[in-house]
Amino acid sequence: MDVKELTQPQIKQRIDELRKLLQKASYAYYVLDQPTMEDTIYDKLYRELQDLETQHPTLVTPDSPTQRVGEKPATQFNSVRHNVPLYSLENAFNVEELNSWDNRWKRQLTSLNQDEKIDYVCELKIDGNALALTYQNGVLIRGVTRGDGVTGEDITQNVRTIRSIPLRLNIDAFSEGIPERIEVRGETFLPLDVFTQINEERQKNGETLFANPRNATAGTLRQLDSRIVDKRRLDFFCYTLHIPGRDDASIASSQQEALDLLQKMGFKVNPNQRLCSSINEVGEYYQYWDTERLNLPYMTDGVVVKLNSFKLQEQLGFTQKFPRWAIALKYAAEEAPTRVENISVNVGRTGALTPLAEMHPVQLAGTTVSRATLHNSDRIIQLDIRIGDTVIVRKAGEIIPEVVRVLKELRPDGTQPFIMPTHCPVCGQPVVREKEQAVTRCVNSSCPAILKGAIEHWVSRDAMDIRGMGEKLVHQLVDRGVVASVADLYSLTAAQLCGLERMGQKSADKIVNAIAQSQKQPWSRVLYGLGIRHVGSVNAQLLASKFTSVTQISDASRANIEGIYGIGAEIADSIYQWFRIPSNQELIQKLADAELQLTVDLAELAATSQQTTSSALTGKIFVITGTLPSLKRDEAKALIQKAGGKVTDSVSKKTDYLVVGEDAGSKLTKAESLGVAILSEAELLAILDISAKEMET
């Protein structure tokens, strides 16, 4: 569609149309889990909308699908008071406690007619973080964390990234017009596969792992940069509807009706709810989900039972903390007792010492557990765990086993408190515990444990991708003193490898060849491979596109590094410190001698910039023809791609710009006949300059 020919009302109409189409497709994908539109078509429409909005900024509205991810990180979150407090729920742990709650509320409700039919709505208790959302005239205006129930943090910018939360409600859900204000509550959570992925990434980067999806969700919600939240793919189930000033039953008279209405409004409501007509049926629901929940792609820690009738709810009201009309019926955590046979200390890639309890094997949530992390020395002191102790282990979040408590009454005589070693158990050098840090570290960069970890990271898939260099081979090379840094890999010979266990001439040749091939890996991978704390592969790509050589990043100040969009203070500090260590500078020199790529090449710059920037040129299609006065073809292409544009070979109706140099031929004629905009090199540079400025603001 040629935008220039549209009149203002037509543009507005097209924008509305695009928003509706995109909203519908996104709803089908994220809420119904039934995609209706191909990704490529979605992307194309999205880009068209984005272009129109860029050209007509006054038409941008906060509920536009383009407005989900904020351009600028927040500096802090403001505390806000909830319009209606978020109550917590009373807990019950078995059917007996459920029955006693049932008897209790019935006694409290003196006016209850013995024959009145009681319905209970049973819902799964999603193990995430509660959110309170406010809609004004159908548009999301605020998203707040639970906090202490009375005040929470305003994290609207992060909430907007959650695709299953509508930015605009479906007004068709209301026959008598949409109420001015609508408050909804629900649970945001990380699906288990996303949680696992995040922890894998953190492990690779030497960061502490999230113990369970709930903590990971809370950590994600606290991120100041909504672009990071966007990547984490949070999801949301809605379970409470509140319309201020409309307590009559005209909109919904029961929880069941409210859930139906929430669904019609465009929210994702958990499909596993059930309306039960007796407390026995509620008990069955609880028991059924005790095992069935293990097949769900998200964590649940119980079921929530609510009286269905809003009239009954109102009559019963609240205690100081809880509604009297609901109860959380929780599942016991997966815990079991076992005996600690040893406490060992593992030294990781970053030098962090992690104490591990080695235990008599025990069955937990369907798997055998024989090791559990004790996290750090603070945790050990807190637990006072000793070899010989009987302990309770739990699969926290059904994922990572941990020791919950020590059964001191079963402690045998003669046990000794465990003390963290003062020297690294691998290299024997003194360890360091930084002030106010729980982690104890070995800081000897030639410690074999650190070295092994560093080499395993260097050869890994996302770094230098050296196939055939497995953990066993790396350990042998380090233990025999053949390799003392990643740079030494580049002087390895097949003859040296042949002397190692299970290594024939052929495999040795293959590995030497794979190592040589890795010299061609781009600068961003080399940077990732260095294993600088907090520099994962995404950050490495971002950094490599801004610091186009190792010298640039090595000479950069903390402020320079932090100035990069997407890089926070902690990451900047870690990078800055890394380059101040003399042995790391020596390593860089050795890598340069080994001819690794320590500067960016144009193609990589184009590819990475395309992923990390967006601008007025996003999605614009360029064709270059003829000889440009100063830029080489590749350079012009890289610049366009860096600004988010695309460069193709032939002119068609889809082409937005033809960049023309000397001796342009048939492409120019075709472009003219199709009415494609023609640019000289100078004009191209002018456009790029404008968009570069836009990117900075």
Which positions touch ligand IVH (CB under 6 A)? 87-89, 123, 125-126, 130, 146, 187, 239, 304, 323, 326, 328
* Smallest distance from ligand IVH to CB 634, Å: 54
* Smallest distance from ligand IVH to CB 297, Å: 16
In the complex with ligand IVH, which residue's Cβ is closer, 125 or 637? 125
In the complex with ligand IVH, which residue's Cβ is closer, 151 or 549? 151
In the complex with ligand IVH, which residue's Cβ is closer, 125 or 349? 125
Q: In whole angstroms, what is the distance from residue 657 CA to residue 645 CA?
A: 10
In the complex with ligand IVH, which residue's Cβ is closer, 92 or 684? 92
Q: Known catalytic residue: 520?
A: no
In the complex with ligand IVH, which residue's Cβ is closer, 126 or 571? 126
The residues facing 347 across adjacent strands are 353
Query: Do residues 652 and 675 lie in contact, with contact meaning Cβ atoms separated by under 8 Å?
Result: no
Position 209, amino acid: L
Q: How many helices (H) and strands (E) does the chain have?
A: 25, 22
DSSP H or E run through 79:
strand 79-81
* Smallest distance from ligand IVH to CB 329, Å: 11
* Smallest distance from ligand IVH to CB 108, Å: 17
Here the tokens at position 695 are 């990117």
Here the tokens at position 326 are 């609901």
In the complex with ligand IVH, which residue's Cβ is closer, 130 or 527? 130
Write 670-676 long-range contacts (CB < 8 A, 24+): 671/623, 675/2, 676/651
Q: How far is CA 176 from the centre of its chain?
A: 40
In the chain, % helix, strand, coil (3-state, to 5) comes to: 40, 20, 40
Residues 405-431 as b or e (16 or more Cβ within 10 Å = b): ebeeeeeeeeeeebebbeebebbeeeb
In the complex with ligand IVH, which residue's Cβ is closer, 242 or 590? 242
* CB atoms closer than 10 angstroms to residue 360: 12
- DSSP symbol at 309: B
SS3 (DSSP) at 142? strand
In the complex with ligand IVH, which residue's Cβ is closer, 315 or 496? 315
DSSP 223-242: -S-HHHHHHH--EEEEEEEE
Query: Do residues 338 and 384 lie in contact, with contact meaning Cβ atoms separated by under 8 Å?
Result: no
Q: Residues 6 or more apart from 190 whose CB is under 8 A from it? A: 128, 198, 213, 216, 217, 220, 232, 233, 234, 235, 298
* Smallest distance from ligand IVH to CB 130, Å: 3
Closest CA to 462 of 531, 514, 547: 531
* Smallest distance from ligand IVH to CB 441, Å: 37
* Smallest distance from ligand IVH to CB 238, Å: 9
Closest chain position to ligand IVH (CB): 130
**172 burial type by CB count under 10 A (0-12 exposed, 13-18 middle, 19+ buried):** exposed
Per annotation, catalytic residue among 20, 44, 72, 125: 125
* Smallest distance from ligand IVH to CB 320, Å: 13
Indicate which residues carry an active-site annotation: 125
